[in-house]
Structure 1
Amino acid sequence: MPTGILTPETSEQIVTTCRTAIGDSLRSVTYFTRDDYEQVYLREDLERDADLSTFIGHEWRGFKTTQTAYEGSELGSYEYTIRVFENGFLIRVTNDSQGVFVTTDGLTIKDFEEVATALDSFLTGSELS
């Protein structure tokens, strides 16, 4: 599954961070930058047929659009995005140079907050690429 933009150790750290916060509800984990992406985890019962390049393009543009649209609002700084779908959820944690999106089965808001906080700390505290 790795494409080489992350070291195996860094990929494992991201997956471990997500598994610790989410557990067996974790479906997939994809790390991305402006120029590339790497799916670092896909649960074995799922098909490997998602169009990740389209997802990444949308999530990157979505981050920039959201960040700009709400900048300076009473809501405060952008933290993360949760998307709700018929068969699961997607959480995106992004900064100006990199991000991770995670798909899950059902979770509570507390679970989303835990994984978002853990991933934000990971992204903020590491030089991944």
Structure 2
Amino acid sequence: MSGHHNLVDASFREQLVSACRTAVGDSLRSITYFTPDEYEQVYLRSDLEADADLTATVEHEAAGFRTQMAYDQSELGDYQYTLRVFENGFLTRVIVGKHGVFVTTDGITVLRSREVTEAIGAILRETVEAA
């Protein structure tokens, strides 16, 4: 798993940041785009340190590509998103095909998490269809 600085183009970056800021506002901490093999942090709130090593987190979230298949045909229905709750914030992950995004936030309600995942999902579906 390797990080890149040019994995996403400016238009894709702007769409993601706009959608996430609209859904969660100033609570948004970061946005990271990832595939099974690589990732790029596309947004980091200005008051946060840019020194975090994302590799381990991205590798864990990228396991979602495999996990998704494990739940295929589940009586629970189709996988939609993952919400992780931590002491100091939240991580919300969306995967569509071979494209994933996770956002970190200070706080989030179930309604806001659904709104942000629907917005990210729509952007990722456009990316999958365009590929």
State the TM-score, normalizing by the size of structure 2.
0.89
1:49-93 Cα offsets, whole Å, 9 max, x none, are 32211111110113422x133221221010100000000000000
Describe the SS at the equivalent of 2:74. Answer: coil
Q: 1:96 Cα shift?
A: 2.5
Contact kept, 8 Å, 2:81 with 2:93, in 1: the verdict is yes
- Partner AA of 2:97 in structure 1: D
Equivalent residue for 1:56? 58
**What does residue 35 of structure 1 align with?**
37
Displacement of 1:111 in angstroms is 0.1
Aligned match of 2:127: 126
Distance 1:122 1:62 in 2: 18
Pair 1:116 & 2:117 matched: yes
Alignment of 1:1-129 (within 5 A): 3-65=5-67, 67-127=68-128
Paired residue total: 127
TM-score (norm 1): 0.91
C-alpha distance in structure 2 between counterparts of 1:95 and 1:56, whole Å: 15
Query: Is the CA contact 2:29–2:106 (under 8 Å) kept in the aligned structure 1?
Result: yes
Misfit runs of 4+, over 6 Å: none
In 1, the alpha carbon distance for the partners of 2:71 and 2:10 equals 36
Q: Secondary structure at the match of 1:51?
A: coil
Report the secondary structure of 1:46's partner residue.
coil
Specify the SS of the correspondent of 1:89: strand
Q: What is the letter of the counterpart of residue 12 of structure 2?
A: T
The superposition leaves residues 14-71 of structure 1 with CA deviations (integer Å, 9 ceiling, x where unpaired) of: 1111001110000000111122111111011111232211111110113422x13322
- Mark the runs of 5 or more structure 1 residues left unpaired by the alignment: none
Q: Percent identity?
A: 55
